[in-house]
Every structure is written in C-alpha cells, then in structure tokens.
C-alpha cells in the first residue's frame, strides 16, 4: 500500500513539474480582411458575434436566401442551442434584423 502511494505521489510530482516548466503557446492571428457592414444594431452584432468568429465568417454564409430572415433566425438559434453562445434573448431579434438587412 505504501509503495503504491509513493508511486502515485511521484507521478503527481513529475506531472506538476512538467506543467510548471511547459512554455505557453502564443498564436499570431491573421489581420481582419472584412468588417461588419454599417447598419442598425451593428453594436449588438459586434458584441455578441465577434467573440467567436469574424465578419469574414458571416460573409461566407449563403446570400440571397429566399427566406433570409428565417435563415438567420435558425443560425442564431443554432449558435445559442448547439454552440452555447451566451446571447441574451433580448438581442436575438436585433441580431436577426441586422443580418437579414445587411447580408
């Protein structure tokens, strides 16, 4: 029993030392190549959407959809329910309106 405890403590100590000397990883992100288009509720979109992805990502979504508002409503709902986006319910309609009007 004592040898198992000592082996466990030695393993924990080794892992702790390895974690302590591990170098932090830094990434240089590429420059933004797109910006959100001006429009009503732009600030709401920037505050809720740009934390997870860029304006480039939104720009690559299907455009000219027959049911544009329904498409964006489904996308915002997916971001909340599937990906856990912390979007306040009061902002959902504003985001959908902005995206429907500008993309």
Q: What CATH number corresponds to the domain at position 80?
A: 1.10.760.10
Q: Is the residue at 85 inside a domain? A: yes
In the predicted structure, residue 13 carries a pLDDT above the cut 90: no
In the predicted structure, residue 35 carries a pLDDT above the cut 80: yes
- pLDDT at site 41: 96
- pLDDT at site 93: 97
Q: How confident is residue 34, by pLDDT bands cut at 50, 70 and 90?
A: confident
In the predicted structure, residue 99 carries a pLDDT above the cut 70: yes
- pLDDT at site 78: 96
Q: Is the residue at 13 inside a domain? A: no
Q: Is the residue at 37 inside a domain? A: no
Structure tokens at 75: 């996308």
Q: Is the residue at 68 inside a domain? A: yes
Enter the pTM of the model.
Answer: 0.67
The total number of structural domains in the chain stands at 1
Q: Is the residue at 20 inside a domain? A: no
The Cα–Cα gap between 67 and 70 comes to: 5
> Is residue 52 within 8 Å of 102, Cβ to Cβ?
no
Q: Is the residue at 71 inside a domain? A: yes
Structural domain of 80: 42-102
């Amino acid at each position: 029993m004592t040898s198992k405890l000592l082996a466990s403590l030695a393993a924990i100590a080794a892992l702790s030392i390895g974690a302590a000397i591990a170098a932090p990883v830094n990434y240089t992100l590429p420059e933004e190549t797109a910006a959100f288009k001006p429009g009503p509720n732009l600030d709401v979109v920037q505050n809720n959407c740009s934390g997870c992805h860029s304006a480039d990502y939104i720009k690559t979504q299907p455009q000219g959809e027959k049911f544009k508002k329904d498409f964006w409503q489904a996308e915002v709902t997916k971001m909340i329910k599937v990906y856990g986006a912390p979007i306040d319910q009061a902002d959902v309609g504003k985001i959908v309106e902005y995206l429907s009007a500008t993309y």
